[in-house]
Structure 1
Amino acid sequence: MTGTPASWRPFAGDLLVATLFAPATDTRRRLIVTFGHRAPDPGHLPPAEPVKRFLRAGWSHLHIQSRWNDWYVNPETEALCTALTPLTARFRHVAAIGFSMGAYAALRLSAALNLTEVIAVSPQYSIHPDVVPFDRRFHADSAGFDPNLGDLARHARRGLQGVVIHDPFRPLDARNAALIGAVLPELPLCRFGFGGHPATAVIRETVKFGAVQDLILGGDASRARIAALHRDNRAQSPTWWRGLAERAATTGRSRLAALAQSRASSLDAAGDSP
């Protein structure tokens, strides 16, 4: 595919914007949905960019953005849902990928988007202090967050395929994942040890996240396949070895800590070589 793909905005509010990109030939009636990230400088919307990997495969692409770090829960949320539900109903398969704030949005909007499957990386269960008092990381974003409008138990779609990916060594992420698993028990949890937040560091350092996208394109983004992707490549990730070294040190396994740190240093040095 060459040139700029055709695009239009099925929703354009002051707070939320959705941009739809069409492939050169739309024959598969499949849609991938992505979300803007939590921004260090919120208040403006960068230009939406298509995921060309999916467009080349004949999928359409819907990108949803929020002007502020409000986790997509604001006075325009319901209007966005109303606009997108009939649009996404035209597709026979709708998949979504989200990271952190975008992962929460994928779950919260899953019913309105008619999602078939979701890859949610390090999602929150909520950011409201009354709902997750144990997790203060995003309380600064929660001033206008309506806990009822943001309630996954009420708004997420049941029967979703896919996976919730998290780093089990990030206790707050693991706790949010467990809460999500309790309200969406059919959506399996997948542990990406030492992946960080969001839990993709190991994948980014090795096969890149495009490998996960390829599993969606191939129709096999199962928990088993995604877990294997992480497991089979972690030995080539310096971040994974550093995480193992830190974990071993804190649990008194000094020999393992030294070996893991040595391996991380070797991989770092190999990466720095011309």
Structure 2
Amino acid sequence: MVVKNADTLTQGHFRDPTFDDVKAAALARGGFVHDMLNHVAAFLPAPSDSATARNLVVSFDNLSAIRDPRRMPWEANFLLGQSWSILGIMGRINDWYRHEDVWDLFDVLRREKFFERFDHVAMYGASMGGYGALTFAPAAPGCTVLAFAPQSTLDPELVPFEKRYRYGRKQGNWGGRYTDAADGVRAAKRAYILYDPMERYDRMHVERLDGPNVTTLKLPYLGHKIPLQLKRMGILKSLAVPALQGNLDEAAFHRLFRARRTSLPWMVGFLDRCLEKGHHHAGLALSEKLMENESNWKLRKQHRALQEAVAQTRSTPPKPSDAAE
């Protein structure tokens, strides 16, 4: 469906039942659900008597959302719990929002001043959703963006280093509008980009995203699935709320991130990376220290694996070239 004006944002027929829940929730709140070829957009306004009803978060799906049999916007429970209005952009396929239907939707919403109804607009997403949050920021100039481990684009001419997501690259149309997050981020008043600098490709994408309005925050050893790790650490909400409101400062971020030192998921993730990257001696030393105060089967398993890796290293004879040196 080509969107020509706001009147064409319909509640019409849906081709599958996976969006029944979001359709019911949106209509019950007086919002809309717009069905497109590869995507669905759902507007869930907050109750009008809520003090935060005029705060809008545009939420973009990540790759795993497509597997949910009962769809709601990404992080809907958290956002609704804050009594914020939500515009959820949900995909039937993981094409990084590279279809003209989605571009037309955002063009119409901007032209008809939909975003200007709100006192504050934030774009929110992780990975593919982070790409969407950054790339569509020009539809709401002056918005806030919170993006976890985003891609900047999958256009092979712009990011020849990106070897992941071959399916998404083939699915999407990488010409046309809203293509490059490095361009889109300039429209934001404030953009928070959180990533693990140990993830090579994530780091290379973030290096393309710069400007005086951009705050990059490093979360080493959390991997690519950062929101999940922050949730397990119990700090996702405390971090996301001020970021989406545009007032997260780096000192507050670092205070929150200290929680990793007592977070079992972070410890496990860190030791996993030590095993993966070959930092066996450092990982073994840390695991021994951690086990002085923490008894957990995952730590014990990793400790044994690191012991075996170190023993294997010691028992492996040097290569002839190494011996010659």
TM-score normalised per structure 1: 0.81
What does residue 35 of structure 2 align with? 12
The alpha carbon displacement at 1:103 in A equals: 0.3
What does residue 236 of structure 1 align with? 262
Kept in 1, the 8 Å contact 2:58–2:123? The answer is yes
Deviating more after overlay: 22-31 vs 118-127: 22-31
Instruction: Measure the CA separation in 1 of the matches of 2:187 and 2:60.
Output: 21
Match for residue 111 of structure 1 among 128, 138, 162? 138
Instruction: Measure the CA separation in 2 of the matches of 1:158 and 1:45.
Output: 34
Instruction: Measure the CA separation in 2 of the matches of 1:264 and 1:131.
Output: 46
What does residue 21 of structure 2 align with? none
1:201-216 equivalent positions in 2, closer than 5 A: 201-216=228-243
The alpha carbon displacement at 1:55 in A equals: 3.7
What does residue 20 of structure 2 align with? none
Deviating more after overlay: 48-57 vs 145-154: 48-57
Match for residue 66 of structure 1 among 88, 91, 113? 91
Change (3 A) 1:13 1:260: same
Change (3 A) 1:17 1:61: same
The alpha carbon displacement at 1:244 in A equals: 4.2
The alpha carbon displacement at 1:71 in A equals: 0.3
The alpha carbon displacement at 1:242 in A equals: 4.1
Change (3 A) 1:123 1:251: same
Structure 1 position 145 matched with structure 2 position 173: yes
Task: Give the secondary structure class of the aligned counterpart of 1:179.
Answer: coil
Deviations 1:77-123 (A, max 9, x none): 32121232221121110112211000000001111134521110000
The alpha carbon displacement at 1:267 in A equals: 6.0
**Is there any run of 5+ residues in structure 2 with no aligned partner, and where?**
1-23, 300-325
The structure with more helix, counted as a fraction of residues: 2
What does residue 261 of structure 1 align with? 287
Structure 1 position 100 matched with structure 2 position 123: no
**Is there any run of 5+ residues in structure 1 with no aligned partner, and where?**
none
Deviations 1:222-267 (A, max 9, x none): 343234322x11112334334544666758682x422322327936
Structure 1 position 135 matched with structure 2 position 162: yes
Match for residue 48 of structure 1 among 42, 63, 72? 72
What does residue 107 of structure 2 align with? 82
Q: Percent identity?
A: 22
* Structure 1 vs Structure 2 CA RMSD: 3.3
Deviations 1:12-37 (A, max 9, x none): 32222211112222444111121112
1:168 maps to amino acid: P
2:259 maps to amino acid: N
TM-score normalised per structure 2: 0.70
Change (3 A) 1:223 1:106: farther
Structure 1 position 178 matched with structure 2 position 207: yes
Kept in 1, the 8 Å contact 2:186–2:213? The answer is no
Deviations 1:200-234 (A, max 9, x none): 3542221142222332477632343234322x111
Deviating more after overlay: 5-14 vs 30-39: 5-14
Task: Give the secondary structure class of the aligned counterpart of 2:129.
Answer: helix
1:47 maps to amino acid: R
1:14 maps to amino acid: L
Q: How many residues are aligned here? A: 265
Deviations 1:104-149 (A, max 9, x none): 0000111113452111000001112222121111122112331453
The alpha carbon displacement at 1:189 in A equals: 0.9
What does residue 161 of structure 1 align with? 190
Change (3 A) 1:270 1:126: closer
Deviations 1:176-214 (A, max 9, x none): 111122xx4421111001111132354222114222233
CA radius of gyration, larger in? 2
Structure 1 position 197 matched with structure 2 position 224: yes
Change (3 A) 1:224 1:82: same
